Amino acid sequence: MIPVETYDIDNENEWCPGCGNFGILKAVKKALSELDIPPHEILVVSGIGQAAKTPHFMKCSGFHSLHGRALPLATGAKIANHALNILVHMGDGDCYGEGGNHFMHAVRRNIDVTAIVHDNRVFGLTKGQASPTSAPGMITKAQPHGVVAGAFNPLAVALVLGAGFVAQGFSGKPDHLSALIQKGIRHKGFSLINVLQPCVSFNPVNTHQWYAERVYPLEETDHRTDDLPLALQKAMEGDARIPIGVFYAEKKPSYTDRLPALEQGPLLDRPFAPETFQTLLDALF
Amino acid sequence: MSIDVTVKIGGEAGQGIQTVGTLLARTCRRAGLYVMAVNDFESRIRGGHNFFQARIRDQVVRAADDRVHLLVGLDAATDDLHHDQLVPGGLAVMDDASKPSGDKILPVPFTALAREAGGKILANTVAAGACLALLGAPLELFQDVLSEQFKEKPGVIQDNQKAAALGYHAVEKTEFPHAFAWKETAPKGMLLSGDQAIALGAAAADCRFSAFYPMSPSTGIHLHLTALADRLPLVVEQAEDEIAAVNMAVGASFAGVRAMTATSGGGFCLMTEGLGLAGMSETPLVVIDAQRPGPATGMATRTAQADLLFLIHASQDEFPRFVFAPKTLEDGFTVTVRAFELSEKYQVPALILVDQYFIDSLVLVDTPLQAPASLERFILEPAPEAAAGYRRYAFTPEGVSPRALPGRSRALVVFDGNEHRDDGHTTEEAANRTRMVDKRNAKIPSMRKEMHPPETFHPDAETILVGWGSTYGVIRETVERLREKSIDIGHVHFTDLWPFPVDPGKAALATARRRITVENNSTGQLARLLRQETGIALEGKILKYDGRPFYAGELEKRVRNLLEEGS
């Protein structure tokens, strides 16, 4: 086991005191430490938002990219070198709003990355507008009469699109979350871990206390992770009681497992063979 | 006597005009002839009117002409629309159902003969047989091309050969004044299409990843890459949209393989955000813009050269990039290889401007294409003891920081689309911001030194035509024709457009008294760029923006008109 301090970095952490992101970061470091993945063997790709600052707040290789675009960027990186261990950190607006189309297609491709979505049901960095996961009726400065649109249900959407690993954690339970992240990293294929977290600055509704009163671990019920209709039922349970844990897990070949060009190892490691190509060229002539 | 014959085959979408046109071009290749063909088609799957126009010569041909010797019509529109292009002694061979008779018209029962050979669908092959008979080609040559084309489908060969023979024999007694002698000779060179030239260039440069979203006229580039992908270390991915395509390419390049995407102007609009990310994060990236008329959807299957200034400026704020526009199809291969190399060397995006005319042209190329025998990757593999101190954006005098790959050493490799410190971590600190902008811009002088001067042909003439990209062939032929008529005219042509090669550009333009820009856009974007970069204001403009390419005769007329106006 790698000491968890190994991932600590000497950068100022810009998150608000009390932010749910701290619990998530703690869970990530603990997971990597227990899986024995050293900083230089982990790649954190992120979008834009408070969540997406993660690669600056821990030791790792990283690409802090664009709002909404972390998943296609991670997809390209994974195809180029499928030996990379990729965590994708995004917020709810980042992944489900700006990147909604990419999210759906990353699930369809079953690209082997672990998506950790910091879901605080609000836009934090732009100071408090509704996000795709905000509950209808939520009042913000931008939605003074309350959110009109229905909430996006990431777990249900991922399940319906055939995701092989769908889980939900809570930033207030970092040990539980850390176990989910470890399972997500071990899962070969797209893993979605939606993490419920408070936004202490801009979401006065879904607070730490609010979640703490509602979440219950699926492991403590008779939930089975191989039952898709049951997983979907759990994903659609609503806000009265909120399940956390692994909703659904199914082994299936990941995107890079199915590409013939990658059978001989990472694309990056294939030798440059100009003579093969010259033969192809000469055949045209 | 030299051969210079243009054949135009027209019909509805779905009648196999392109297929039969390509077969005709292959037949010419087999006979050691040069050919240059353009595809003109509508954005529809069935109906409408499309044509394939091939110019056959016994010397290199780089431009389409607007004088037609032989019209071959599978629909009535072929004659209705193009009859006035026929030269003296020219002939329109028409399906008898659409054109029973008329001046310079030879009705042939294409459809009836096709049914006799096996089905209405073979009308295009019947027409090709008739066309080759009139041109004086031996039937066996065409039969051989057909067997090669359909070698995996023996039944199809038989029907097509029968159709070809029926078409051939239906007209073989007709005297056609523009027929010429077909020699028994070895096949010459290769038939190269524009999309294929770009794809081969990318593969030659060891591009290993390409993502795309289908968009005319760029899609063919990816189809050609896909055809190579089973035999090379290459993955071609159809993305969910152009935004994903460009970001996938950035991700793949970041992880260490050469990567690209190709699109047309509308798709490029969606890619500008990702282009900026490549600029800010200093990630190598090659993007091909196969231009078509815009804005918005514009005309999907038509041609334009109207994205030059857009590409030079695309994405917000300022960052260095390369912009190229290959002048010929072979140049498309070479420029693509260079773009990958330079993009990686300077860690900047390299953009290539082609257009529908370029992409859908077919040209007989007689010099074999050569892949580079070795590549320099400009990638750092830090030793374990150096890894701890690795800084992705280390300040260097020339602006290029050593680039390590994530997961390949003990170095922590942090790329950032936010403004960042030299270690890749985000900062808004003012002095660092200025220093980082200066670091990126510091690459520009070396990048400019990499730029090739414009190609010149009699630049000291009284008048010069100035162009960029795909218009090279038609401008050169126009200038040659005018020089034969004792007009003192030259040609200056730009392929390397950004960073603009200021000194050689100025020198090339310095002597002529009258400088005329020739462009497929409505404002003269190259002329604006030249004025901005060299201070030289060109004296004239010949612009065409109807979605069609310039044809040699047409451009010659427009130059003459302009010269007469001004004299």
Cβ neighbours of residue A120 closer than 8 Å, sequence gap 6 or more: A20, A91, A92, A131, A197, A198, A199, A203, A206
Q: Are B248 and B144 found together in one domain?
A: no
Question: Is residue B374 in some structural domain?
Answer: no
> Is B406 in contact with A277 (Cβ distance < 8 A)?
no
Q: Are B205 and B282 found together in one domain?
A: yes
Question: Is residue B337 in some structural domain?
Answer: yes
Sheet strands side by side (includes B362-365): B105-108, B86-95, B68-73, B4-13, B47-57, B34-40, B362-365, B190-193
Domain encompassing residue A241: 4-284
Q: Are B445 and B455 found together in one domain?
A: no
Can you give the CATH number for the domain in which B149 is found? 3.40.920.10
B291: part of which helix (H) or strand (E)? strand B285-291
Of the three residues B403, B423, B450, the one that is the final residue of a domain is B450
Q: Are B310 and B446 found together in one domain?
A: no
Query: Residue B191's closest CA among B9, B4, B23?
Result: B23
> Is B425 in contact with A56 (Cβ distance < 8 A)?
yes
Check the CA dihedral A87-A88-A90-A92 and report its sign. negative
Question: Is residue B370 in some structural domain?
Answer: no
Cβ neighbours of residue B179 closer than 8 Å, sequence gap 6 or more: B134, B135, B136
User: Is residue B449 within 8 Å of B306, Cβ to Cβ?
Assistant: no
Cα gap B70→B52, rounded to integer Å: 12
| Window A:100-139, CB contacts with B under 8 Å | 101-102, 104-105
Question: Is residue B127 in some structural domain?
Answer: yes
Question: Of A6, A32, A69, which to mutate for an interface test with B (greatest number of B Cβ within 10 Å)?
Answer: A69
Contacts of B284 in chain A (CB under 8 A): none
Can you give the CATH number for the domain in which A264 is found? 3.40.50.970
For chain A, say whether B389 makes contact (Cβ under 8 Å): no
Cα gap A58→B259, rounded to integer Å: 29
Query: Domain count of chain A?
Result: 1
User: Is residue A134 within 8 Å of A91, Cβ to Cβ?
Assistant: no
B355 by DSSP, 3-state: which?
strand
Chain A residue with minimum CA distance to B243:
A69
Per-residue model confidence as pLDDT tens digits over B286-342: 999 999 999 999 999 999 999 999 999 999 999 999 999 999 999 999 999 999 999
For chain B, say whether A72 makes contact (Cβ under 8 Å): yes
State the residue for tokens 């007694």: B173
Distance between first and last Cα of chain B: 35
How do strand B463-468 and strand B514-519 relate by DSSP bridges? parallel
Chain B residue with minimum CA distance to A54:
B425
Q: Are B455 and B557 found together in one domain?
A: yes
Q: Are B445 and B456 found together in one domain?
A: no
For chain B, say whether A64 makes contact (Cβ under 8 Å): yes
Give the distance from residue B402's alpha carbon to the nearest chain A alpha carbon, in angstroms.
Answer: 16
- The one-digit pLDDT tens for each residue of chain B (567 residues) are 699 999 999 999 999 999 999 999 999 999 999 999 999 999 888 889 999 999 999 999 999 999 999 999 999 999 999 999 999 999 999 999 888 888 999 999 999 999 999 999 999 999 999 999 999 999 999 999 999 999 988 889 999 999 999 999 999 999 999 999 998 788 889 999 999 999 999 999 999 999 999 999 999 999 999 999 999 999 999 999 999 999 999 999 999 999 999 999 999 999 999 999 999 999 999 999 999 999 999 999 999 999 999 999 999 999 999 999 999 999 999 999 999 999 999 999 999 999 999 999 999 999 999 999 999 999 998 887 888 899 999 999 999 999 999 999 999 999 999 999 999 999 999 999 999 999 999 999 999 999 999 999 999 999 999 999 999 999 999 999 999 999 999 999 999 999 999 999 999 999 999 999 999 999 999 999 999 999 999 999 999 999 999 999 999 999 999 999 876
Cβ neighbours of residue B328 closer than 8 Å, sequence gap 6 or more: B62, B363, B472, B473
Contacts of B426 in chain A (CB under 8 A): 53, 56, 64
Say which of B209, B232, B241 has its CB closest to residue A80: B209
How do strand A85-91 and strand B489-494 relate by DSSP bridges? unpaired
What is the b/e burial string over B43-71, where b = at least 16 CB atoms within 10 angstroms of the residue's CB? eeeeeebbbbbbbbbeeebbbbbbbbbbb
Query: Domain count of chain B?
Result: 4
Cα gap A230→A219, rounded to integer Å: 14
Question: Of A61, A103, A281, which to mutate for an interface test with B (greatest number of B Cβ within 10 Å)?
Answer: A61
Say which of B203, B240, B256 has its CB closest to residue A81: B256
Question: Is residue B371 in some structural domain?
Answer: no
The angle formed by the CA atoms of residues B44, B49 and B52, to the nearest 5 degrees, is 100
Give the distance from residue A71's alpha carbon to the nearest chain B alpha carbon, in angstroms.
Answer: 8
User: Is residue B525 within 8 Å of B470, Cβ to Cβ?
Assistant: no
Q: Are B67 and B104 found together in one domain?
A: yes
Question: Of B148, B198, B257, which to mutate for an interface test with A (greatest number of A Cβ within 10 Å)?
Answer: B257
pTM listed for this prediction? 0.97
Chain A residue with minimum CA distance to B245:
A72
Q: What is the DSSP letter of B426?
A: B
Question: Is residue B469 in some structural domain?
Answer: yes
Per-residue model confidence as pLDDT tens digits over B359-404: 999 999 999 999 999 999 999 988 878 888 999 999 999 999 999 9
Q: Per DSSP, what are the bridge partners of residue B52?
A: B9, B39
Contacts of B234 in chain A (CB under 8 A): 261
Q: Are B29 and B163 found together in one domain?
A: yes
Cα gap B332→B198, rounded to integer Å: 6
The angle formed by the CA atoms of residues B247, B249 and B255, to the nearest 5 degrees, is 105
Of the three residues B406, B424, B450, the one that is the final residue of a domain is B450
User: Count H helices, E strands: chain A?
Assistant: 9, 8
Sheet strands side by side (includes B496-498): B235-238, B207-212, B258-263, B285-291, B349-355, B322-324, B496-498
Domain encompassing residue B535: 451-566
| Window A:208-247, CB contacts with B under 8 Å | none
What's the distance, CA B423 to chain centroid? 40
For chain B, say whether A50 makes contact (Cβ under 8 Å): no
User: Is residue B166 within 8 Å of B184, Cβ to Cβ?
Assistant: no
Give the distance from residue A43's alpha carbon to the nearest chain B alpha carbon, in angstroms.
Answer: 7
Distance between first and last Cα of chain A: 59
Query: Residue B54's closest CA among B141, B168, B132?
Result: B132
Can you give the CATH number for the domain in which B470 is found? 3.40.50.920
Q: Are B433 and B464 found together in one domain?
A: no
Task: Please count the CA atoms within 13 angstroms of the CA of B465 that sit on its side-chain side.
Answer: 29
For chain B, say whether A145 makes contact (Cβ under 8 Å): no
Of the three residues B154, B170, B188, the one that is the final residue of a domain is B188
Cβ neighbours of residue B153 closer than 8 Å, sequence gap 6 or more: none
ipTM of this complex prediction, to 2 decimal places: 0.98
Chain A residue with minimum CA distance to B377:
A272
| Window B:236-295, CB contacts with A under 8 Å | 237, 239-241, 243-245, 247-257, 259, 273-274, 277, 281
Rg (CA), chain B: 26
Q: Are B432 and B461 found together in one domain?
A: no
Q: Are B104 and B50 found together in one domain?
A: yes
Cβ neighbours of residue A238 closer than 8 Å, sequence gap 6 or more: none
| Window B:189-228, CB contacts with A under 8 Å | 189-190, 192, 200, 203-204, 206, 208-209, 211, 228
Question: Is residue B229 in some structural domain?
Answer: yes
Cα gap B322→B308, rounded to integer Å: 12
